[in-house]
Structure 1
Amino acid sequence: MMPEPLPSIPLTAVRAFAAAARFENFKRAAAELGVTPTAVSSQVKSLEAYLGCRLFDRNAQSVTLSDAGRQFSEACDAVFARLDKAVQDVRQTASRTSITVGVGALIGSQWLSRRLFSFWQRFPETGLHLQYSPGGVEFSDGQTDMMMAWGDGRWPGLVSEPLLRFKTSPVIGPALLAGGPTPARPAGLLNLPLLHWKDQHDWLEWFGAMGVETGGRLPGVVIDDSSVLLRAVLSGQGVSLGLLPLIESELQSGQLIRPFSGDFTPSRSYHLVYPPDAMDQPQLKAFRDWIVEEAGVHQP
């Protein structure tokens, strides 16, 4: 035999109780709710009857929460907090007119910026804010919706989707060589100042693929910002691994030199990274679908 369903929870009475519990005063609760103290008292009594327990200890001068009342008050506070957040989230989603995407300087200027007209054609009423983000993946500011990030795809607590895998090659600014010979072998680069992007991982991986022993550690300068790294190489400050499709114009103009033919595909790549609940918002899902399509169509 199926149990009979409980009557609907008396939400008006719960709301009256939550206010009374917060103040431990029916008169102040009534003022907040815009009703009479008698109405608050009546609602609380109906809730006590529904729950089958006393929520307040009453005397002539005051009311105080009982143990059951304190327990139920804490539960109500948690539920109302979640409900309030849900209301804010829904309102924000419904009124959203723009999205914010964190992006590094090089991928932003040399890849994403060249596809903005395509986005506008598809979504003319959605604003797009490209936020300069040279550092790591970070969403704590509450403003960034998604990020294009370079890495291995592992960002705990976040969703990451592979977007673009670029080939790399060592590149040198002519000023660094100062008329001297270009290194003939990969090991010769160890005699030049190495510039690392974010960490030593990519150089270590490249030297390993070339059969050059490094002992797992390399000297050099680590630079987080891809645009600063490129400027340093162009001005002859060191040799770096360049993402070939993003430095095509500098190679064609002779501002950068590739000392070796051939190229290398690193294990790291660009990913689209976002919080797990991002796809609940139609505008963010639309951007995700668009950029994944763009990356597939225009994959170098």
Structure 2
Amino acid sequence: MSAKETRLPPFRSLLAFRAAASHDRLADAAETLGVTESAVSHQLRQLETLLKTQLFDRTSRRLVLTETGARYLARIDPAIRELEAATEAILPKEGRRVVRLTLPTSMAGTWLLPRLGAFEAANPDLDLQLVPTTRVVDLLRDQIDLSIRYGRGNWQDVEKTFLFDDHATPVAAPGLVPEGTVDIEAVLKANRLIVVRSVPDEWQEWARARGMEPPDLRDALELDVTEQGLQVAEAGHGIAMGRAPYIEERLARGLLVTPFGAAGPSGAAYYLCHPVGYPLSAPARRVRRWLLAEAGIEDGG
């Protein structure tokens, strides 16, 4: 096929489409590309004219992909990432490279941040940007390289690698629960329980796994993240559900105790994820290897 007959769209139009599809406002897409809104709009119109189809539903005030637009994005985005990876592989390595990692808020504060200083010292050319959140992030839309997710691993469109099991057991300040307590249900009724909104069923799951009736949580203290719950329990204001690896340091320092015994598997786990079919950049691969090593997992990929 000659250059005249090529059916490839202008690359600027593809980049404009990709940026627009990753945001819900033209202004955000334009800022990402370093151009004006009118330039992005022009490139989108040019692409739609070439493809003879509408890529965005313009009945909404925000950018919403049509079904055709979503299919087109799914096909071209991997190709653009391949081009980026191929270019990156031969460019001189100058300056700091950015890798974006999203993970549960509590895990960021209690597991990752204590390890981050050593990583940064060993990788001065990398800028690891953390996106702590309790929600499941759309990695492609939010332009996230890697994600640590908590759950049972049943997510679509991501490649996942097991990091470690989630182990849970109630924790309290030393002395709150008398030593040698046998009647666990009575202790739970006599003390205020702490519930974390991001894992609202943890008390029920823990109780059922041990053949107990789930405790009454109507008067429980509800907090947003695990770290808050542990802090309140540490201050002696109730019993929280402790989870590895969040409680390890507090147990070692004697700030918390496990009055009902060691933690047991909850059925959930932590996984390191990235989008299926999208090659990781060289910096993202380095972060992935580090996270796996910190979790004691051999990198097989």
Normalising by structure 2, report the TM-score.
Answer: 0.61
CA distance in 2 between partners of 1:88 and 1:293 (Å): 26
Residues 232, 156 of structure 1: CA spacing in aligned structure 2 closer, same or farther, 3 A cutoff? Answer: farther
Q: Look up the match of 1:163.
A: 163
Figure out how many residues of one structure are paired with residues of the other and give that number. 234
**1:233 equivalent in structure 2:** 233
Matched with 1:293 is 293
Q: CA deviation at 1:113?
A: 2.9
SS at match of 1:246: coil
Quick one: distance in 1 between partners of 2:278 and 2:9?
35
Amino acid in the other structure paired with 1:195? I
Q: What does 1:1-300 align with in structure 2 at a 5 Å threshold?
A: 8=1, 10-13=2-5, 73-74=51-52, 86-87=79-80, 90-91=83-84, 94=88, 97-116=97-116, 119-120=119-120, 123-133=123-133, 135-139=134-138, 142-173=142-173, 177=176, 181=178, 184-191=182-189, 192-197=191-196, 198-214=198-214, 218-219=217-218, 220-296=220-296
The whole-number CA distance in structure 2 between the counterparts of 1:16 and 1:147 is 33
Relative to structure 1, is the Cα distance of residues 84 and 289 closer, same or farther in structure 2, using a 3 angstrom cutoff?
closer
Distance 1:243 1:213 in 2: 20
Cα distance in 2 for residues equivalent to 1:99 and 1:227: 25
Q: 1:210 to 1:126 in 2, by over 3 A?
A: same
Contact 1:100 1:129 in 2 (8 A): yes
Give the C-alpha shift of residue 123 in structure 1.
4.3
The alpha-carbon distance between structure 1 residues 71 and 110, as it changes in their structure 2 partners (threshold 3 A), is closer
Amino acid corresponding to residue 168 of structure 2 in structure 1: T
CA 110–200 in structure 1, closer or farther in 2 if over 3 Å, else same: closer
* Alpha-carbon displacement from aligned partner over 1:266-295 (angstroms, at most 9, x marks no partner): 111211122224434333233223322331
Which position in structure 1 is the counterpart of 2:44?
Answer: none
What is the CA-CA distance between 1:203 and the residue it aligns to?
Answer: 1.8
What are the superposed Cα offsets for residues 184-208 of structure 1, whole Å, 9 maximum, x if unpaired?
Answer: 3321243133223323332222212
Distance (Å, rounded) in 2 between the aligned partners of 1:87 and 1:17: 13
Maintained 8 Å contact 2:168/2:266: yes
| Distance in 2 of aligned mates of 1:278 and 1:223 | 36
Q: Distance in 1 between matches of 2:153 and 2:172?
A: 29
CA contact under 8 A between 2:194 and 2:229: conserved in structure 1?
yes
- Contact 2:81-2:278 at 8 Å conserved across structures: no
Counterparts in 2 of 1:226 and 1:16: CA distance versus 1, 3 Å: closer
The SS at the match of 1:266 is strand
RMSD: 4.1
- 5+ unaligned residues in a row in structure 1: which ranges? 1-7, 19-69
Amino acid at match of 1:185: D
**Any idea what SS the aligned residue of 2:279 has?**
helix
